[in-house]
């Protein structure tokens, strides 16, 4: 059983964008006698088993992406409410359900159950437009809840199990920011670990990526380096890419002139912040990435990254995050996994998470998708398939395939396309 790694048990959200009533996504494995290959065993929960991957299906505008946005909103509130929020004013991540006038008067609620270093935790908060209404953190060291702290408005309650300068930090916590954010900012040992857990969750929401954007990401996040494992993956799915190189490209006179004009235009802005700012004209060259391809009779050529397909560009963007999570454990969330990706490319990614060899640390992936072919991957269990639809009031509802009676021998893809499980465009026609 895994102990030293971070894993999500469940995520709940209420009154956010198209979500009205509380909705839950759970990674807890059911008792189904389906494929056991990817099951993550853990002693931290009574069920003892978690899933490495969840796929969320549903028609356009049903709210699939809002599940991802909700988790992203929760994380951003945790990370930035104390450091980037204004002393007074709105909480930017607060976006209540708009099709019910009563929702504006109700809080938006986020809650995550997770495992960190072998211990289960339950953390959540409720927010209005300008104030945090509630915040709480419980641990389950022996499968029974133990309060670490609770908050109602600006009233805080701490248990002796939470060490540190809790009262002092509570006085520093603004009414529109989270205590856990203020605690991490103040160097609180216990709560910084919780804060860092949320900071480690990778969210990949870019729907498309240009060559220049992919190049910038490689430059900024990976110092111009493309991991060998990324290249190997691109080889295996027959993208034609077998390597890469960086080279200096000489700028044209027009490009140098434009760069200089932009720099001069920005100079006064930078000097307002730093009076000693000096403008330096652009270099005559810029570094670029070219991907290596093999052609007829082994002929080798290098092509600018801008000439690659949308699918290759998205893989170049997402794969370092995916492979990083697989190496270390943790969580990645991908909105629209299938966008610009062939079924086989998406399938290979999912197989990595369902393999104990490729995924030794219990890494997890949550993804939305339209690709029904993925339902028939033999390593995918029925409890890993979830659906999103809208009720008659236009509110998003989330439910697992296991809520519907199926047999192991059923063709899940066919049943879904026939409308047996709901959450299809057919039901809205």
- Break the chain into its structural domains and give their ranges: 1-201+330-429, 209-318
Give the count of beta carbons closer than 10 Å to the beta carbon of residue 243.
16
Rounded to an integer, what distance in angstroms lies between the CA atom of residue 341 and that of residue 123? 35
Q: At what angle do helices 310-328 and 228-236 cross, to 10 degrees?
A: 130
Q: Which residues contact 55 (CB under 8 A, 6 or more apart)?
A: 337, 350, 367, 368, 369, 374, 375, 380, 384, 385, 386
Distance CA 225, CA 216 (A): 11
Question: Whole-structure pTM over 0.85, yes or no?
Answer: yes
Angular region, 396: left φ>0, alpha ψ -120 to 50, beta rest = beta
User: Hey, what are 270's tokens?
Assistant: 């930078």
What CATH number labels 1-201+330-429? 3.40.50.300
Each residue's pLDDT tens digit in the chain (429 positions)? 565 579 999 999 999 999 999 999 999 999 998 999 999 999 999 999 999 999 999 999 999 999 999 999 999 999 999 988 777 889 999 999 999 999 999 999 999 999 999 999 999 999 999 999 999 999 999 878 999 999 999 999 999 999 999 999 999 999 999 999 999 999 999 999 999 999 999 998 765 567 777 788 888 888 889 999 999 999 998 888 999 999 887 777 775 676 666 666 665 665 555 555 555 555 677 788 999 998 787 788 999 988 888 888 888 888 889 999 999 999 999 999 888 788 989 999 999 999 999 999 999 999 999 999 999 999 999 999 999 999 999 999 999 999 999 998 899 999 999 999 998 865 443
Q: Which H, E and C letters describe 326-353, residue by residue?
A: HHHCCEEEECCCCCCCCHHHHHHHHHHH
Tokens 């028939």, residue?
376
Element (DSSP H or E) covering residue 230: helix 228-236
d(CA 315, CA 320): 8
């Amino acid at each position: 059983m895994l102990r030293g790694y971070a894993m999500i048990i469940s995520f709940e959200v209420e009154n956010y964008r198209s979500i009205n009533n509380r909705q839950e996504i759970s990674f807890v494995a059911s008792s189904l006698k389906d494929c056991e290959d990817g099951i993550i065993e853990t002693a931290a929960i009574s069920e003892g088993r978690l899933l490495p991957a969840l796929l969320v299906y549903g028609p356009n505008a049903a709210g699939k992406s809002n599940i991802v946005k909700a988790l992203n909103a929760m994380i951003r509130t945790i990370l930035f409410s104390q450091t980037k929020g204004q002393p007074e004013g709105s909480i930017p991540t607060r976006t209540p359900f708009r099709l019910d006038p009563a929702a504006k008067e109700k809080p938006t609620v986020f809650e995550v159950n997770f495992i960190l270093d072998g211990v289960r935790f339950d953390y959540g908060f409720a927010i209005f437009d300008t104030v945090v209404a509630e915040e709480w953190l419980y641990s389950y060291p022996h499968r029974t809840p133990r309060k670490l702290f609770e908050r109602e408005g600006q009233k805080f309650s701490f248990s002796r199990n939470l060490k540190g300068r809790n009262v002092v930090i509570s006085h520093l916590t603004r009414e529109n920011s989270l205590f856990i954010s203020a605690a991490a900012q103040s160097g609180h040992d216990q709560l910084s670990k919780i804060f860092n857990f949320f900071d480690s969750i990778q969210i990949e929401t870019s729907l498309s990526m240009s060559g220049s954007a992919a190049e910038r990401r490689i430059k900024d996040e990976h110092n111009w380096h493309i991991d060998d494992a990324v290249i190997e993956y691109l080889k295996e799915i027959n993208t034609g890419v077998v390597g890469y190189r960086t080279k200096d490209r000489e700028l044209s006179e027009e490009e140098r002139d434009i760069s200089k004009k932009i720099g001069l235009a920005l100079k006064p802005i930078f000097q307002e912040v730093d009076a000693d700012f000096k403008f330096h004209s652009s270099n005559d060259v810029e570094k670029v990435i070219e991907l290596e391809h093999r052609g007829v009779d082994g002929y080798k050529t290098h092509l600018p990254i801008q000439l690659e397909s949308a699918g290759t560009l998205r893989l170049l963007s997402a794969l370092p995050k995916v492979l990083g999570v697989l190496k270390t454990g943790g969580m990645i969330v991908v909105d629209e996994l299938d966008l610009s990706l062939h079924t086989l490319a998406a399938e290979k990614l999912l197989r990595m998470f369902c393999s104990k060899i490729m995924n030794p640390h219990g890494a997890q992936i949550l993804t939305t998708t339209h690709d029904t072919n993925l339902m028939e991957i033999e390593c995918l269990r029925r409890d890993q398939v979830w659906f999103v639809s809208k009720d008659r009031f236009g509110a998003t509802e989330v439910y697992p395939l296991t809520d519907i009676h199926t047999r192991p021998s059923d063709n899940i893809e066919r049943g879904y396309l026939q409308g047996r499980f709901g959450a299809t465009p057919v039901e809205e026609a």
